[in-house]
Structure formats: structure tokens, C-alpha cells
Structure 1
Amino acid sequence: MSKALVIAEKPSVAQDIVRALTASSGKFEKFAEHFESDDYVVTSAVGHLVEIKAPEAYDVKRGKWSFANLPVLPPHFDLEPIDKSKGRLSAVVKLIKRKDVTRLINACDAGREGELIFRLIEQYALGAKAGSKPVQRLWLQSMTPQAIRDGFDKLRSDAEMQGLAQAARSRSEADWLVGINGTRAMTAFNSRDGGFFLTTVGRVQTPTLSIVVEREEKIRKHVSRPYWEVRADFGAAAGLYEGKWFDPKFRKDDDAERRADRLWNAADAEAIAAAVRGQHGRVREEAKPSNQASPLLYDLTTLQREANSRFGFSAKTTLSIAQALYEKHKVLTYPRTDARALPEDYLPVAKQTLGMIADEDLPGPLRELAQHARKALNDGYVKPSKRIFDNSKISDHFAIIPTLQAPRALTEIEAKLYDMVVKRFIAVFYPSAEFMVTTRITEVPAGNALPADLARAVGGTLSFQTNGKVLVNPGWLAVYGKEAQDEDANLVPVQPDERVSAEELRIAALKTRPPARYNEATLLSAMEGAGKLIDDEELKAAMQEKGLGTPATRAQVIEGLILEKYMYRDGRDLVPTAKAFQLMTLLRGLAVEDLTKPELTGQWEHQLAQMEKGKLSRDEFMAGIADMAQRIVRKAKEYDRDTIPGDYATLTSPCPNCGGTVKENYRRFACVGPSSAGPSSIPRGDGAALGSGPAGGSGSVEPEGQGCGFSITKIPAGRSFELHEADAFLRDHRIGPLEGFRSKAGWPFTAELKLVRDEEIHNWKLEFDFGEDEKKAQEDGEPVDFSGAQSLGVCPKCAGHVYEHGTNYVCEHAVGAHQTCDFKTGAIILQQPVTHEQVQKLLATGKTDLLDGFVSNKTRRKFKAFLSYDKKEGKVVFEFEPRAARVPAKKAAKAGKADAT
């Protein structure tokens, strides 16, 4: 008996399909990896199960990347299993190959990515025979049982889906080609003089980084300007109120820092204050009603943005919490969505969900929401509305809402995120909040008190503005506990044309401020709205709903930029590094700036949309991508100038050789000779200067000035010097230990750097210090003096004291001329700094806290582990979090530790 194999994207969707089909196709039997009835076999992927890999002939290893192996334009794309999903892939492939399975139904998510997941699985399973089993498409935008049954009644043919399938493959292969060729070309360019400087680029990550760098450039360029504000307390019959002076004749111009309430010299501010002080004025005001609708339901990006603003959660953390609430607790719908609406047939489900919230005894603060859910149901707030229920605003998935499953045993952070979603879900059905917004203008005649030129500029009457906002009806704000008036809504009443007196004047001396740095919330917004940065209307329209990346990948993009040292977190701010500026300088200098702009995504989205409609062939699109990859490689390969143009900085520290000025160029920090004013710091301006260079020490200086010949690379062993580090290095002749260096083979390491006088060249050069000085001191019999150093605890091997020494924490008896102990552990292990506090805990208890910044040398992936002291081995090892392992206890214990020294 022939059967249809239904492949869903996620196990939860497969279960929904089984429940919906049971009534029409009979009972399903549950197996380990699938469900089966007389007519159907239902299984699922877990997202992507396979990924693109280059054919072996094109797979050039990291340490051998060079222009000789570029461009990479394989004639076909092989596939390989994703490691963590091999078991699931094997199960799905076996089902596809079953003889009684005569047709396939693609039930992956309704969109480009869902189409790609299915097509790659089919290709991997059937190879050259792909297409030998007929394919149909289940297209669902709602997951109610009736919607699923309706979908099976209206299965789409494979021919109907060819445009989407080709667009899905093309986007995936294009990303691969641009990423591989761009990354290897930039890495080859930056490593051509020796060493290995990994320089990654990508269609999404590089424009995202460009957004952050451009903001930092504006911050660095900004020159603060002083300005003054004048405020007055006015006495009315009902009491005092404050007003701020403004110029009613003000008109905006190209100077973005000009405002109607800003004065640009202290004398004008003093004159206005003097003219008003003790005078009487007249009041006029206008009150208008204002409505504020509730925010729309959450999509993932909005949830990540608000969780970052409220709780400081990173985008990655928010996604992992939401995923746990979806997969583990089953209390949220699928979180990786870009939709903020629900399907039009979800009105009954919404009522059921509100009923659950109203009737269930939810834990903690959630219990207080029951009354609001009950009110929404009893007062008829839940009704058809295009603002909430709209199929046209849904692509792959609908908005994030609570499920009918009541939460149990949530952690504190899980409860915080669930509370956000529940409140938003209830609030969206409530009526708008109603305010009365009042604008009050107090006018004081200036008379002859103002200087003539100021009087001509601002007029003979001085105006002060006061704004008030009174909450009349809380509406949806009641769900958030904002039923009372805000404190700043209190505004003492005045009568029409009432005379008031200026009781007190205050002058505030302020300075303009640069724009704020991006944090994860604002960067997510910028990525989502990247289409607004595009001038071309056609490309802007193509990116209208897409932005840079997808809700599911934006967190990964941000984390990837941090992992590759393009930016770092400073509190909640995201700060670009020297490596980020270097990449922007390089791409500008090589004239491949399209890699830095969202227009590239806009252009692709436009072309892919054309392909989906059958108006553009896949071959034509991929030929354009191949041309782009070749152009990127050619631009990097053929660039023959000595330096890359840029706005470079001057260091504050003098040349250690002659005391002259040290300036950066693309590759190095070099002495440019004496300065009449002496060495000084010159702001970099746009900051686009920190460039790449070979690993190593001193060398030839690019033409910059008549210096003494001193220079050091800006990128020793693939790690960019930050400006403050370079200054400190020249000043102190030593810095570190620093992490992030890479060997010639591409492996990361940690080391100190030192400036050493080389008498043969009569100059200074940069060297790595791996503790050779310590070894020499031991060979020469010199003791190590720890007097005055802080003991971090007792050595677990010999009960001596443990101190920080160079790049390690060592026992006092493990260094010096007469060693009696060998206890030592790194101050930085696999790029994870180990603080004094953690070493103290390790020595006191045998184990540190769980540390989450380790980076595997083999896979480059971050991982979490404890550091623990293994008495049997006599050294510090990794200890991993316990898992629900099925292996015997002895094997699990053995597998739970790894050398970390």
C-alpha cells in the first residue's frame, strides 16, 4: 500500500498535523522518529539538517588561503550533514527511501527558508534521483486543525513551487559564494606579507558592522558645542509651574544640533533671564484629546529589542529563553517569526487562550493578569480586527503569543519573558489609552530690556512653553498597571488670559552630545529597518519587510561579530574594534564598498522576488553572483599600491627611538620625525584607519615622513592594536597578556608583547614574550620576588602560596632557581580570561563558577565549562555541565573532564 511522507520543519508541527489528520485518515501509530497511519507517514526535521560544502577540489584549508586558490566557483554544490542533526537526518532519509513511500509532501514552514530545508533534504536523500518521487506542498499560515485539513485539501503542485525553490537555493548559494570568496580574498590580502589575519565578510554581517562603525565615526568626529537653556517658574493663582524659553520663529536647517530652545552664548541667556525676572506675562493654552493604541504583538526582533532594554538580555539570550518556553515548556508559540499579526481564523484560539489566563491559577505576578484577561472576554474586546488578525501580514509564522498550556516551574528569567508576551497579548485587545495633551505658552513682554541685536532675533515678546499630559482613560495601559495619572502629568490649572509672574529664573549651561552608541536593542532595530537607508525606491521596497538578516539569524550575526573581534560589549553598548575600522578602510580602498551596504541585500531581494514570479532565471542571477565574487577577488589581488587611503591617527606616546611623532598608516605605526609642537594626539576623524599588516616586528616604513626608521606592525599575529593599547605599548615598552593572536596556521594564542632594543639595527622591535625571561632567570639562578604580591590561595599540590606571574597563576615553589612544585594554570584559557576571584574559588573549593567564554581551537565555537582541580591528574581540567546521558555512569564521568591547563 503506497503512502505519502509528510516532512514538517519541526516536531511540534508534525504532532499538530497528526492530530488534525487523525479524524480523516485514521489513527496514527507513534514510532521513535515518525508517526504512521494507513495513508501517511509524518516526520520532521529540526530546522536545517544539511548544509552546503565545497567540492573537495575547492576546499582550501584555513592556513593555505591564498589568491592562488581564488576565486572559489564550484561547478556544483555538495551537501554535508550538520553534525548535531545527523541522527534526525538519517531517520528522515530512511523514510524517504522506503519503497512504500511513493510521494513526498513538503510541510516545512511556508516561506523561502522552509522550502530550502525540504529541497536540501530531498537532494541529499535521493541524489541524482531527486524528483523521482512526486512532491506536493502543504502551505499553512495557521495551525488550527481545520486550517491544516484545509491545507491538505488544497496541496500545491511541485510546478507551482519551482520559483520559490529556485530563489531559496539561489540565495543560499549566493551567500556561500560571496562569504567564501570575500572572506578568503580579504584574508589573503591582509596575510600576504606573512602571518594569518582572518578577515571575515558576509552579505549580512558586513553591512551590520558598517552601521556600527559609521555611528562610531560620528561619535569620534563630534565636537561638543556649548549652549544654554533658560527656564522660569511662573506663579499663577493655583500655584507654580515651569516653562522653558523657546524661539517661536525657529525653523530647522542643516545644523541638526540647533533647537528652538537653545541659545548659543551665555550673554543672550543672561539677557533673557534678566528681562523676564520679576515681570508679568499672559498665558494661553490649547488642550487636545489624544489616543494611543496598544503596541502590536511581538515578533522575535521586537521581543529581543524590548528584553534588551528592560532586562539587559542579549538577543541570543532572549532567543534561547523564548526557544525554551516554546520547546520545553510549550507555553509560547514558535518564536523565530517576523510577523506581528495572527491568522484570521485564530479568533476562537485567542479567546481560549485568554480563558486559560483568566481561569488558571498562574504563578506569581501572572496571577494579577487574570482579571485583565477576564475583562477582555466579558467586555467584548476580543473581536475581528485587521490590526490583530490579518493573513496578508503573515509569511512563515504568526506573532508570538501564549499557548493554551499553563506555565509550570519557570525559572526567573523565563517568567520575565513569558510575562512580557502575556501582557502584550492581553493588551492588544484592549481599547486605546486616552490622554488630554496640553500645550501652555507664557508670553512676557521684553520691553527695552534686551540688547537690540537679540531683540531683533527673538522679537519683543519672550515665549516660554510648558507641556502637560493627563491620562483620562487608561485603556490597555491598565494591563501594565498604569491606571493612575503619571507624576509628570500634573499641571496646575490657569484661567484663560491669566496674568502670571516670573518668580525664579534658572540658566542651564549645557553641551551638545554625540549620538549614542548602538546597543543590541537599537542595532536590532537598525537591522530590521535597514531598508530605510536605501535611496533606490525599488530596492527599498524589496527590503521593506526583510531588513538585514531574519529574526532567527540577527542574534547569531551580532554574536558572530563579537566572536570575530569586530566589536565588543561595554555594558550594554556595542563598540567596534580597530579590526572593524580596518575592514571598512580596506573595503573602501579596494572599491568593493557594496559589501558594506544594505543595498546589496535589497538588490538580491528584488531579484529573488522576480525569480519567484518567474521573471528572472536562476542561471542569470547566479551568473551575476559569480561575477561579483570574481570582481571582489580581482580587486584585492590586483591592488598594487603600498597603502590604503584613510584618515589616520597620531599617537600621544613619542617614538622610543628618537622621541619623534608616531603616526599610523595602513599597515604600521611608524615614526614620521620630530614635530614642531612635539608629539600630540590627533583625532582620527572618521576612525576608518586601523588597518591590517603582517605578523612580526619592525620593518620597512611606508612613505609618511622623515622619521628615524622606527615602526611596528599594527596587526601582530593577526590581532589589531587598539589605539590606547599602542600608546601604552610605546610608553611602557610592554603590554599584556593579550588574547586573540593567531599563529601562522590560524590557531589562537595568548601572549605578552615587549619592545626590545636591537643594537644591530640601532632601533627597537616588537617581540612576543612567552615566558622566556622567566626561564632565563631560572637558568641563571635568579629567585622570583613575590613580596608585595597578592596571594590568591593555597597551592593544592604543596600548600604553598599561588600568585599571578606573567601569563599564568603559579605556585611560589614552581618558579625560580629551586623548583619543588609544578602547579600552574593559565590567566587566559582558550580566550576565556580567568579572574582572581575565580582562581580564589578554584583554590578554595576545587572548582570555579561556570564560565561561558571558552573558544574551541578545533571548531572555533564557544562553550561553557567549569575549571576544576583534578587531584589524580594533579592539574586543572575542564568539567562540563551534567547532561541527561544514556551512557554508563563510569563512561560519563570519564567524558566529563578535559585538560585545561
Structure 2
Amino acid sequence: MILYIAEKPSLARAIAEVLPKPHKKQDGYIELGNGDCVSWCLGHLLEQADPADYNPDFKPWRFEHLPIIPDEWKLKPRSKTRSQLAVLRRLIRQSKQLVHAGDPDREGQLLVDEVINYLGASATKKRTAQRVLISDLNPKAVTAALNSLKLNTDFIPLSTSALARSRADWIYGINLTRAYSIQGRKAGYNGVLSVGRVQTPLLGLVVRRDREIDEFVSRPFYEVQAIVETEAGESFKARWKPSENCQPYQDEEGRVLNRKLAENVIARIKGEPADLVKLTQKRKRENAPLPFSLSALQIEAAKRFGMSAKAVLDTCQALYERHKLLTYPRSDCRYLPEEHHAQAGDVVNAITTNQQKLKEFLPQIKVSRRSSAWNDKKVSAHHAIIPTTRQASLATLNQQESQIYELACRYYLAQFMAPYEYDDTRAELKIAGGEFIATAHQTQVTGWKPLLSSSGVKKSALPPLTEGQSLRSTEGVLDEKNTQPPKYFTDATLLAAMTGISRYVADADIRKVLKETDGLGTEATRAGMIELLFTRNFTQREGKTIRATEIGRALIDCLPDSATIPDMTALWESELGRISQQETSYSHFMQPLTERLHELIAQSAQVIIPDTLKALSPPPKKRSVRRRSSAKKPVGGKRGTAAKGKRSVKAKST
């Protein structure tokens, strides 16, 4: 019997749908017509054991126990999934062949591998187990994936990478959370001061941005524009470019802070000849943006629709599992396998059938066009999020599902449209010894722009100009502006910060390493981390902005900088990626972490949590009052002896 183990019931049903019929729906699995079975996990069936599972003494939080680092790691069943684990145990024992059908990512690989190992599959079954990678739940795509099975042992490095992440997160989060919560209690704060290798640097980003805004002092600055006129009476504006002599009067971004200097320039250029010293015009082409990764989709949906990262993920999951209109959503890739180009016609047909309003773009779409999105070298376990070939009525979709599906459709169709082309013109002028610049952007071919841009294309033009042409500056215009503080984070900008975390890394060497592999958290976890900060009361929403609470600020102030900046955790992601590529080992990753943990625990012992946190403590949990039994106490004070005896007999009989 072949046993297919899917990550979720929805994936199991999709697999069974293309396998031999008739099907018998059993408790926790589907029996196929040929005797094979398809079963499933319910997400994680197992979880890391608690500290108390290693040693009962670890149940109360005491500083002398830290750091807690298991010698041998343990997993335990989740309380609500024990029955499904029992089903899988029996099926694995009865099977001759296993097929791993976890989601096509690091977490999905480990999730099913852990179950197979925990339930005691034989060495032979583990060695011969096969792996199916399914990113589209439509029957044709599932069949193709089942016809391309790989050995599951090929994915051991990916599973090892996920295992290292899981264990590292456990020892880092458990130990530092206990250490700082214990210190917090000394100051009268009775809540949990949660610390994590992703959540804490993420909170640090928010806290530092808030403080940067709080401490910002606005300053006026000045820009000068010359009104330039041709002999034919046509006029245009040219912006003054301050010379090196003006640097003492400029800020670090080159803005002029001295009003008198700007006024002096205006006085000098009025009525003066303007020499056109250089004129350049280039035809530029802009290709359509690539299809979406999850983070890219979350960022765009936040900008367009104000959706939170979690809402986008949940919506994508529904479009993938329930409606089968999108491919696998937890993807960090924006590229597609080259062989998928053969399906382009079917996908475009499904899109324009489902989304009638997009039919107007069909004359501009050439399915034979192959954009840079199709690139095998850029695709690993999963590819970009794109629409499937399923044709369906969209009446069953809610508003958010409709918005996300249409957005993914538009970005896919854009791959088959002409590039956006425009003429970029730059005129350099000399007026009274000063340098002035005029630019223009003239659209020549709209290409994909109307499909993705609701505001259309920007246009700015200059009159016909030639180098050496006689021009005159009729007057100067002074624009007084004020420097603006950075903006508070929103869902879109915080996600962008997490995916491009190298911009926030201080160390130049680390920043260089992270240029290609940067990322705070993973595609699957970023939305959850943002929500976790709200749950912990470390951040709060004010309109569309995300702000740190007093508790969040106080926690960041107490922690060492290394725990609050993204350098360490971003390097973790880089190292975990190297494990999956077999460029480094599990032990090489874990050993330095455990050594560093001893240092961090020692540092935490010296920390003094501010007394102000006491007033911010969460209210104490209400204890349930147990009602006294009305039964009389038996003589001799041995109440319940008979009941205890019955329980012990029952235990023996089972």
C-alpha cells in the first residue's frame, strides 16, 4: 500500500481526486480504489517539548535554571491532534511506500518528516520515501506533480535547515523570555516580556522609527527654479544645482538651508542669457514588474487596499485551498519555471474568462512573449504566485478575495505585454555662472502601464531644443520647503523593511553578505510576527500606522543592542539558507548560538527593568472557584478511594 501524507486535508483531497476511484472516506484518511491511502497532517501535529517535559524543576521560572539547552531534543503531540497522529501511526506501519506531500517549502518539508520519524517508520521506508511538490491544487497540475516524484532523501538538507531554525528559535526565545520576564517581576511587572530572534528586532525597528520621529526637528530649506524662455516665446523651468562652494550652507542631503543664498541666485539670474551647454535624450524601456512573491503581494495589497499582512496571507490561502484560483501562496520567489510557459495560453484564457473586465487588454497580450519571469535558475522549491488554469464563477469570492485574485491576474498578464517606453530628456544650462537642470519624461509606448497603474503614466515635456540655442532666464522662483520626519511604519512599509532588512544593518560586512539573502523572518512567518507584536501589547495600530507601546519601548531599552537589531537574525536566515544548500552544517550553526546564549543570560542578570512598567502590568487572571461537593466525607477521611480504585482498574484493562 502506498501512503500519501499531505500537510493539510485540502491538499489530501486534491491528491486523491486524481488517483484511482472509487474512494472510501475513512476516519482520518481516504482509501483509494487500488488500496492505496491518502492521509494528512493538520498543520503541525507535533511541537517542541516544554522545558518542564525535560525536567519538572523547570516548570517555575527561575533564573538559576538558565540557560535551558536540551542534550537530546524531544517532540510531543499537540493536544488536539493526537487522534490523527494515531491514524498515521497505523497507516505508516501498514504501508510499503511513503510519499511525502508537505507544502513545497522548508517548513512543509520538516512538518511531515518529523511525523514520519516520530511514528517510527522503518529505515527502509524512510530511505525509499518519495517527495511530491505541489503548488497548484487543480487536477492537471496535481497529476503532473505526481508524475514527477523525487526521492525524499534529496530534501534532507532543507529539512535540516528547518530543524535548526526550530531548535534555535526555541532555545533563544525560551531562555531570553524567561530571563527578562523574571527581571520584570522584580520591578513589579507581572506580564510576559517575550523575546524572540525575529519579533524583537522587528519591534526594535518600530521603536527606533518612533523615536526618530519624536526627536525630529524640522528645518526650512530652499530651492530655486529659473523660468527659461526660447526665442519663440515657449517657456520651461530649470532647477538650480548648487555648486561645491555652497556646501557650507547645505545639509547632508544637499538641501540649501540659507535663504539669502537662494535669494542671491534669483537676483543674479533675472533677465540673463541661458546657455544650453548639453542636451541628452535617451529612449528607455521599462519591463513589467515580476509576478508576486508573498511579501511583494502583501506590500502591494497594503498600499492599494489597506489590507494587513495577515489578511493577505489568509486570503491567498483561501484562493489556493478552497477556490483553487491561485498557486501555492507562501512563496519567496518571483520567478517561474521555464516549462510553465507552455501553460500560458490556458492561464490567460482562464483569467479573461473569470475576469471579464480584463478582456479589453487581450489585443495587447502576446502569449508567445517570454518575459524575464521565466527563469529556472531563479526557481527553487516553489515559484511565484500566479493564477491557475481554473475557470470559475467569482460570485463566491468575498471582496478581499476578489481584490487579491484580480491583482495577481494583472501582474501575470503584464508579462505578455510590451515594455513601457519613454524618452528621457535632460537639458543642462549655464545662467550667470550657475548650473541649472531641466528634465522631461515623454511616453512613447504605454505597454503594460495601463494594466497596472490606475493613475496612468506621467508626462512632462520640453519645447524643441538644440545645444547652443539662444535662451533667456526671465526670472527666478524661490520654493521654501520644510524637511519632513520619516513616516511611521505601516503594514506595507514594515513588510518592505523585513524583506529588505540589509538597509537597516549597520555592519558593512554583514550588509554585503545579506545583499542577496536578506530577510527578517520568512514569507510564511512575517505576517504572524507583525500580529504577534500586537498580541503581546508591544505595538498598536493608530489608523494605518503601527506604533510601539510603552511596554514595547521599555523592553527594547532593557535588551542588549545585539538582540534588538536585525544583524544577528538576518545572518541566521543566511546561514539557514546555506544549510539547505549543503554549504554549512547543523552543528556549525548551533554551536556558536549556544555559546552566545550564555553571554546573553549573564547580561540579562545585570538589567534593571524600570519601575514604570509596574503600572502597565496586565490585570491578574481570575481564578475559577471550584464548587465544594455536597457528598459527605467518608469515615477515616478517605474520600474518593472507591473512585480511585475504579480508575486504576480501567487503566489496567486498556
Compute the TM-score of the two structures, normalised by the length of structure 1.
0.62
Give, in angstroms, the shift of residue 13 of structure 1. Answer: 4.0
Counterparts in 2 of 1:347 and 1:133: CA distance versus 1, 3 Å: same
Counterparts in 2 of 1:468 and 1:192: CA distance versus 1, 3 Å: same
In the alignment, which of 325, 329, 340 is matched to residue 335 of structure 1? Answer: 329
Residue aligning to 2:603: 635
Residue aligning to 2:378: 393
Give a deviation string over 1:333-371, Cα, whole Å, max 9, x none: 12111111122221122220102233x2x4xxx423113
In the alignment, which of 739, 742, 750 is matched to residue 618 of structure 2? Answer: 742
Residue aligning to 2:548: 576
Residue aligning to 2:145: 148
In the alignment, which of 216, 219, 227 is matched to residue 225 of structure 1? Answer: 219
The 8 Å contact of residues 99 and 132 in structure 2, kept in 1 or not, is answered as no
Alignment partner of 1:270: what SS?
helix
Alignment partner of 1:489: what SS?
coil
In the alignment, which of 2, 5, 21 is matched to residue 3 of structure 2? Answer: 5
Alignment partner of 1:151: what SS?
coil
The 8 Å contact of residues 252 and 258 in structure 1, kept in 2 or not, is answered as no
> Which amino acid letter does the alignment assign opposite residue 618 of structure 2?
R
The 8 Å contact of residues 381 and 430 in structure 1, kept in 2 or not, is answered as no
Q: After the TM superposition, which residues 46-445 of structure 1 pair with which residues of structure 2 at under 5 Å, given as runs?
A: 46-54=42-50, 56-57=52-53, 64-82=60-78, 88-97=84-93, 99=94, 101-126=95-120, 131=123, 133-135=125-127, 136-140=129-133, 144=141, 147-152=144-149, 155-156=150-151, 158=153, 160-236=154-230, 237=232, 239-247=234-242, 257-259=252-254, 262-283=255-276, 285-358=279-352, 360=353, 362=354, 366-373=355-362, 375-376=364-365, 379-383=366-370, 385=371, 387-405=372-390, 406-409=392-395, 410-445=397-432
Counterparts in 2 of 1:372 and 1:256: CA distance versus 1, 3 Å: farther
How far apart in 1 are the matches of 2:398 and 2:481? 45
How far apart in 2 are the matches of 1:61 and 1:344? 56
Q: After the TM superposition, which residues 747-826 of structure 1 pair with which residues of structure 2 at under 5 Å, given as runs?
A: 747=621
> Which amino acid letter does the alignment assign opposite residue 559 of structure 1?
E
How far apart in 1 are the matches of 2:102 and 2:57? 34
Give a deviation string over 1:816-858, Cα, whole Å, max 9, x none: xxxxxxxxxxxxxxxxxxxxxxxxxxxxxxxxxxxxxxxxx99
Alignment partner of 1:31: what SS?
strand
Give, in angstroms, the shift of residue 326 of structure 1. Answer: 2.1
How far apart in 1 are the matches of 2:414 and 2:215? 43
Residue aligning to 1:886: none
The 8 Å contact of residues 109 and 396 in structure 1, kept in 2 or not, is answered as no
Residue aligning to 1:714: 612
Greater radius of gyration (CA): 1
Alignment partner of 2:488: what SS?
coil
Give, in angstroms, the shift of residue 426 of structure 1. Answer: 0.2
Deviates more, 1:110-119 or 1:230-239: 230-239
How far apart in 2 are the matches of 1:408 and 1:550? 31
> Which amino acid letter does the alignment assign opposite residue 126 of structure 2?
P
Give a deviation string over 1:439-491, Cα, whole Å, max 9, x none: 1234322xxxxxxxxxxxxxxx13332221011011111423679763x4243
Residue aligning to 1:524: 495
Alignment partner of 2:260: what SS?
helix
Give a deviation string over 1:723-757, Cα, whole Å, max 9, x none: xxxxxxxxxxxxxxxxxx324xx549xxxxxxxxx
How far apart in 2 are the matches of 1:348 and 1:151? 17
Give, in angstroms, the shift of residue 300 of structure 1. Answer: 0.6
In the alignment, which of 541, 566, 585 is matched to residue 557 of structure 2? Answer: 585
Alignment partner of 2:96: what SS?
strand
In the alignment, which of 538, 563, 567 is matched to residue 599 of structure 1? Answer: 567
Give a deviation string over 1:548-567, Cα, whole Å, max 9, x none: 11111101111111222222
Identity of aligned residues (%): 29
Alignment partner of 2:119: what SS?
helix
The 8 Å contact of residues 539 and 606 in structure 1, kept in 2 or not, is answered as no
Counterparts in 2 of 1:185 and 1:542: CA distance versus 1, 3 Å: same
> Which amino acid letter does the alignment assign opposite residue 230 of structure 1?
V
The 8 Å contact of residues 286 and 439 in structure 1, kept in 2 or not, is answered as yes
How far apart in 2 are the matches of 1:163 and 1:311? 39
Residue aligning to 1:722: none
The 8 Å contact of residues 543 and 601 in structure 1, kept in 2 or not, is answered as no
Counterparts in 2 of 1:149 and 1:411: CA distance versus 1, 3 Å: closer
> Which amino acid letter does the alignment assign opposite residue 376 of structure 2?
N
Bigger helix fraction:
2
The 8 Å contact of residues 251 and 257 in structure 2, kept in 1 or not, is answered as no
Q: After the TM superposition, which residues 24-35 of structure 1 pair with which residues of structure 2 at under 5 Å, given as runs?
A: 26-27=20-21, 29-32=23-26, 33-35=29-31
User: Unaligned stretches of 5+ in structure 2?
Assistant: 625-654
Give a deviation string over 1:37-69, Cα, whole Å, max 9, x none: 436322333432322121535588999433144
Counterparts in 2 of 1:46 and 1:544: CA distance versus 1, 3 Å: farther
How far apart in 1 are the matches of 2:265 and 2:246? 20
2:23 maps to 1:36: no
2:462 maps to 1:491: yes
How far apart in 1 are the matches of 2:537 and 2:454? 43
> Which amino acid letter does the alignment assign opposite residue 634 of structure 1?
A
Question: How many aligned residue pairs are there?
Answer: 612
Give, in angstroms, the shift of residue 534 of structure 1. Answer: 6.5
Bigger strand fraction:
1
Alignment partner of 1:475: what SS?
coil
How far apart in 2 are the matches of 1:302 and 1:250? 43
Give a deviation string over 1:119-175, Cα, whole Å, max 9, x none: 22224433xx674743513153776356424423xx3254x4444333322221111
Counterparts in 2 of 1:44 and 1:375: CA distance versus 1, 3 Å: farther
The 8 Å contact of residues 189 and 613 in structure 2, kept in 1 or not, is answered as no
How far apart in 1 are the matches of 2:335 and 2:399? 28
How far apart in 1 are the matches of 2:283 and 2:455? 17
How far apart in 2 are the matches of 1:568 and 1:473? 45
Question: What RMSD, in angstroms, separates the aligned Cα atoms of the two structures?
Answer: 3.4
How far apart in 2 are the matches of 1:474 and 1:548? 36
How far apart in 1 are the matches of 2:379 and 2:410? 22
Counterparts in 2 of 1:34 and 1:396: CA distance versus 1, 3 Å: farther
How far apart in 2 are the matches of 1:191 and 1:212? 25
Counterparts in 2 of 1:76 and 1:511: CA distance versus 1, 3 Å: same
How far apart in 1 are the matches of 2:411 and 2:584? 41
Relative contact order higher in (CA < 8 Å, ≥ 6 apart): 2
Compute the TM-score of the two structures, normalised by the length of structure 2.
0.84
The 8 Å contact of residues 142 and 343 in structure 1, kept in 2 or not, is answered as no
How far apart in 1 are the matches of 2:15 and 2:384? 20
The 8 Å contact of residues 54 and 77 in structure 1, kept in 2 or not, is answered as no
Counterparts in 2 of 1:370 and 1:583: CA distance versus 1, 3 Å: same
The 8 Å contact of residues 178 and 202 in structure 1, kept in 2 or not, is answered as yes
The 8 Å contact of residues 290 and 435 in structure 1, kept in 2 or not, is answered as yes
How far apart in 1 are the matches of 2:313 and 2:550? 29
How far apart in 2 are the matches of 1:166 and 1:367? 46
The 8 Å contact of residues 291 and 385 in structure 2, kept in 1 or not, is answered as yes
How far apart in 1 are the matches of 2:56 and 2:532? 22
How far apart in 2 are the matches of 1:308 and 1:604? 27
Counterparts in 2 of 1:462 and 1:161: CA distance versus 1, 3 Å: closer
Give a deviation string over 1:217-238, Cα, whole Å, max 9, x none: 4334433333211223333325
Deviates more, 1:11-20 or 1:40-49: 11-20
Give a deviation string over 1:75-98, Cα, whole Å, max 9, x none: 44443444665665454444334x
Give, in angstroms, the shift of residue 417 of structure 1. Answer: 1.7
User: Unaligned stretches of 5+ in structure 1?
Assistant: 446-460, 645-665, 667-691, 694-712, 720-740, 749-856, 859-901
How far apart in 2 are the matches of 1:220 and 1:182? 29
